[in-house]
Amino acid sequence: MSEFILHQYQLSPFSEKVRLMLGYAGLDWRAVTVGEVPPRPALEMLTGGYRRIPVAQIGADVFCDTRLIAREIAQLANRPELALENNSDEVQAFVRETDLEMFLACIIATSGPGMLVKLARNTSIRNTLRFLKDRVGIGRNARVPSMSLGQAREKLQAHLERLEKMLEQEFLFGSTPCIADFSAYHSLWYVRDLTGKPLVQPFERVNAWMDRMKAFGHGNLSEMTADQALEEARKAEPRAIGQQGSDPLLGRTVSIAPEDYARDPVVGTLVAVQPEVWTISRATPELGALHVHLPRRGFRIRDV
């Protein structure tokens, strides 16, 4: 079987979410470090233009969005609690709120020069300016509710108070972690560990829970170059689809893109429709056939 490859960068909160799941699952995996901003030529050859990070790859199959990446980890490690659809309605509602609204609140609540200074130290001033310009562009084209600094801090405060009450037990929904813990962790990792803001400090249970989560580590990883990842795709065939599902767009050329932010589309032939996933086939001259898997919730599909 082909290796599990994660295209990611160190300061990416959603990459940290997946890295921690891989540590919890105890999986071996390969890391390809990509730039904080496009262009990412090698990754774009795989995804067809999807720009969010991280992206997972297994041979000639490419998985976009952390929900689908989590499903793959759940299957590989026999950890069903990491797949959103295997959890209760309460957990699913919590994850959907936390992954978007609370993530944005955490980013806005900690806005300021601190993260940019850290990025400049890790990369360069030029790259930091490119990053800032890129994120401003994403914000202008986003379709998400606007939030002031004051509103973001109020939301974050209420979120932390809620988590503090939930953590009378070791993890958010019981004595063992599930997808909700990883979804809540990565935003607060950004607040506490990356920006160094003291907003989490007063919450003793939340801090102790974050330390328990952090102790899972990142699993057994080894670095890989982008060219090596492309070679993995080149020498593999997409895995068998199984049931294609039913949809009038099957077999047609479609465009699939996120509905909220970073709404760059991926174009290809729709070859499978499952309850949670769209799969499109892309025939590339450099890599041959690729299957790109995208979530249905939060994404739109168009016939092109």
Residue 261 pLDDT: 80
Phi-psi map region of 85: left, alpha, beta (phi>0 left; psi -120 to 50 alpha):
alpha
Same domain, 225 and 288: yes
**Same-domain pairing of 183 and 99:** yes
Report yes or no: 244 and 295 within 8 Å, Cβ to Cβ.
no
Q: Are residues 201 and 105 in the same domain?
A: yes
Domain housing 285 = 4-80+221-303
Give the pLDDT confidence score for residue 263 in this predicted structure: 86
Query: Is residue 15 within 8 Å of residue 55, measured between CB atoms?
Result: no
Residue 43: predicted pLDDT: 97
> According to the model, what pLDDT value does residue 84 have?
97
Are 208 and 237 part of one and the same domain?
no
CB 51 within 8 A of CB 262: yes
Tell me, yes or no, whether 202 and 108 share the same domain.
Answer: yes
CATH number at residue 270: 3.40.30.110
Residue 24: its pLDDT value, please?
98
Residues with pLDDT less than 70, the chain: 1, 114-116, 128-129, 131-140, 142
pLDDT at 243: 75
Domain identity same for 115 and 226: no
Residues 95 and 207 both lie in one domain = yes
* Domain stops at, among 196, 214, 232: 214
Q: Can you give the pTM of this predicted structure? A: 0.93
Residue 164 Rama label (left phi>0; alpha psi -120 to 50; beta): alpha
